[in-house]
Chains A and B, each alone.
Chain A
Amino acid sequence: MDSDGRKLEQPIAAGHDPLPGHRRHAPPLYGVMAEFESPTDLVAAARQVYHLGYRRINGYSPYPIEELSEAIGFTHTSLPLIVFIGGVLGMLGGFFMQYWIEVIDYPINVGGKPYNSWPAFIPITFETTVLSAAFAAVLGMLILNKLPQPYHPVFNVPNFAFATRDRFFLAIEANDPKFDHANVIELLKSLGAMEVNDVEV
């Protein structure tokens, strides 16, 4: 599994050295990263790359771009389901905790009300629902994103610090079945990239 939870095949096909002759042991390659100046250029390039059949691609931008995740074919996330399950568990847990305590384990007669005076349990049930769903949302997001992750190859790209400022990046990863080092560099340059860099693992 790579950092985004997709299954990896062979990192680089055998006998297919991406950097022949440069060093005795060429460093393994994570992929190729292209730098763009505007979100429009990035989204157009991502669409084109996806259209050409590349699937192990990823965009990097300083703010969320809805069109970008669509362009790289990433439109589904199971986060809402996780949050829903978290909420339901919180609701059931909250209510039955109170039920068990007030009815079974420690019944106290308060003003002749029934032990299971459920309307009085609703406020806390509501709070535990929200609390549990919120934890599911935050932890679910972090776990699905594989964060915290102190090291990632893309940080090796010289200009990548600008991905949190005003630059837009598109990576084609070396484990893509269609990945061919020279072709990919050529393709990204033809799509208007300002700069194209190898990303070492």
Chain B
Amino acid sequence: MRDEEVKTPYTEGPMHSTSPVIDPGLTFASVTDKISSIVLKRKTSLAWFFGFAISFALFQLMLLAMTNLVFVGIGLWGVNVPVAWGIDILNFVWWIGIGHAGTLISAILLLLRQRWRTSINRFAEAMTLFAVAQAGMYPIFHLGRPWLMYWLFPYPNTMGIWPQFRSPLMWDVFAVSTYATVSAMFWFVGLIPDFATLRDRARSKPFQMLYGMLAMGWRGSARHWHRYEMAYLLLAGLATPLVLSVHTIVSFDFAVGIIPGWHATVFPPYFVAGAIYAGFAMVLLLTIPLRKFYGLEGFITMRHMHNMAKVMLATGLIVGYGYIMEAFFGWYSGNKYERFMIWNRMHGPYHLYYWALILCNIITPQFLWFKKIRANLLALWIISFIVSIGMWLERFVIVVTSLHRDYLPSSWGMYQPTQWDWSMFIGTIGFFFTLLFLFIRFLPMISIFEMRTILPEAEVEE
């Protein structure tokens, strides 16, 4: 098994599509030069400045929305009793879900020895980190008094009080902050050898110093590599259960509550699958234009597109199963509130959201069964876009339709996001892309040293 893998490192069995994982003509030198030149030599294109400018402008909208929120208060948002969690908690769940694909690609696929992950893991990890950064801001600003957010952490204080650890909201604080920290460390550790590559390739003194400091004196010593590989493997082993725990705990925010439609045991697996589904959609959404623009077709091949589309299809089916089970539980529970909740989702004032969700998340991915559609990048991009919207709608349906009509009809109400809710959402998209544009300009978006390992010449012949 192992020998076979060594002899044919970049071909695949009959079960897979025929594209290779990496362009067979590449060498150590060409891989190194090609990826590092994007950062070091290539002239920054007008399109980059254009994209960056738009993202940065939207990022300013986020800062404006946040500043206004801090000055005026949470009343700026559309949240109120009975819908105290509006699109801001929804956006938190949406962003953090997007992040999960990055960890899945970098950690879980590493443990499963999926070599195709190598050319997309750096980019997907960056996406994770930036998405988690957006996610983290929502609950903090939702607190109403965000400047007191440090009260969430257990620290000895003069008030003599402690956080309540039996609450899923506290679990969330620990899960998200751990996830952000571990993702950042995993990403940075992966970058160290590539910083050394950039240090040795950079022509200008400031960049030599910048990358030199970040590389921390990395010199590719065999002893260092040995410990490095061990650390990387252990981090992957730690990140794997971590990523599953994060969305499980996010789902506990809902499932531990007794709101109809939230109090369901299917929530953790269904949330995790949904997170991976949304995350792969986002990876495809970003890599399809990026590989074309930077001419990375030799690194991110059609094999990657096929595989990511298949993961999307599989997780989409799990999510579809989750929706069916929600409806089934509603009916089978015999509980009139649960039954009403399902009926209200399908026929109530927000029924358009529900049916749009079914269209986006269950019907659309079925096209991915066809090889022709998986091979058509435009179709794949459009499907990914629709799935991203669908996953946003899913969280809208879960958060809003369950809250707006629960047990007591006298407390029913409607929810309407305000312009400030939308400003915050659009603003975080801007911030996300701002970070992403800076990343592709200043850091190698493909892991150079890992690409070297999958080249045919990397094998030691006995």
Q: Report A36 CB to chain B, min CB distance, Å.
A: 12
Is A101 interfacial (CB-CB < 8 Å)?
Answer: yes
Is A187 interfacial (CB-CB < 8 Å)?
Answer: no
- Size class of the contact patch on chain A: 35 or more
Is B154 interfacial (CB-CB < 8 Å)?
Answer: yes
Residue of B with least CB distance to A169: B220
Q: Are A40 and B460 in contact, CB atoms less than 8 angstroms apart?
A: yes
Q: Are B234 and A163 in contact, CB atoms less than 8 angstroms apart?
A: no
Q: Are A151 and B217 in contact, CB atoms less than 8 angstroms apart?
A: yes
Chain A positions 105-135 with a Cβ under 8 Å from a chain B Cβ: 105-106, 108, 110, 113, 117, 120-121, 123-124, 126-128, 130-131, 133-135
Indicate which residue in A74, A137, A149 contacts B235 across the interface (CB closer than 8 Å): A137
Is B145 interfacial (CB-CB < 8 Å)?
Answer: no
Give Cα A91 to B222, complex, Å: 33
Is A175 interfacial (CB-CB < 8 Å)?
Answer: no
In the complex, chain A residues whose CB is within 8 Å of the CB of B174:
123-124, 127-128
Indicate which residue in B166, B212, B452 contacts A113 across the interface (CB closer than 8 Å): B166
Q: Are B449 and A141 in contact, CB atoms less than 8 angstroms apart?
A: no
Is A59 interfacial (CB-CB < 8 Å)?
Answer: yes
Residue of A with least CB distance to B240: A130
Q: Are A64 and B229 in contact, CB atoms less than 8 angstroms apart?
A: yes
Q: Report A64 CB to chain B, min CB distance, Å.
A: 4
Is B178 interfacial (CB-CB < 8 Å)?
Answer: yes
Decide: A63 near B235, CB < 8 A? Known: A40-B460, A72-B222: no
Residue of A with least CB distance to B198: A164
In the complex, chain B residues whose CB is within 8 Å of the CB of A126:
241, 245
In the complex, chain B residues whose CB is within 8 Å of the CB of A77:
226-227, 230
Q: Are B223 and A152 in contact, CB atoms less than 8 angstroms apart?
A: no
In the complex, chain B residues whose CB is within 8 Å of the CB of A151:
217
Chain B positions 409-462 with a Cβ under 8 Å from a chain A Cβ: 449-450, 452-453, 457-461
Is B42 interfacial (CB-CB < 8 Å)?
Answer: no
Chain A positions 30-73 with a Cβ under 8 Å from a chain B Cβ: 38-40, 43, 46, 58-69, 72
Give Cα A179 to B461, complex, Å: 29
Is B165 interfacial (CB-CB < 8 Å)?
Answer: yes
Residue of B with least CB distance to A122: B171
Q: Are A123 and B245 in contact, CB atoms less than 8 angstroms apart?
A: yes
Is B175 interfacial (CB-CB < 8 Å)?
Answer: yes
Q: Report A43 CB to chain B, min CB distance, Å.
A: 5
Contact string, A146-184, partner B, CB cutoff 8 A, digits 1/0?
Answer: 011111101100001111111000000000000000000
Residue of B with least CB distance to A79: B230
Indicate which residue in A74, A128, A150 contacts B217 across the interface (CB closer than 8 Å): A150
Q: Are B27 and A74 in contact, CB atoms less than 8 angstroms apart?
A: no
In the complex, chain A residues whose CB is within 8 Å of the CB of B72:
none
Q: Report B57 CB to chain A, min CB distance, Å.
A: 36
Residue of B with least CB distance to A166: B28
Q: Report B215 CB to chain A, min CB distance, Å.
A: 9
In the complex, chain A residues whose CB is within 8 Å of the CB of B201:
161, 164-165
Q: Are B228 and A130 in contact, CB atoms less than 8 angstroms apart?
A: no
Q: Are B457 and A38 in contact, CB atoms less than 8 angstroms apart?
A: yes
Q: Are B458 and A39 in contact, CB atoms less than 8 angstroms apart?
A: yes
Of the listed stretches B46-54, B181-189, B352-360, chain A binds B181-189
Given contacts A77-B226, A77-B227, 10 further A-B contacts (CB under 8 A): A39-B457, A62-B449, A63-B452, A64-B449, A69-B222, A72-B223, A79-B234, A83-B231, A123-B168, A123-B174
Taking Cβ atoms with an 8 Å cutoff, the residues of B that contact A are 27-29, 32-33, 154, 160-166, 168, 170-171, 174-175, 178, 181-182, 185-186, 188-189, 193, 196-197, 199-201, 212, 216-231, 234-235, 238-239, 241-242, 245, 249, 252, 449-450, 452-453, 457-461
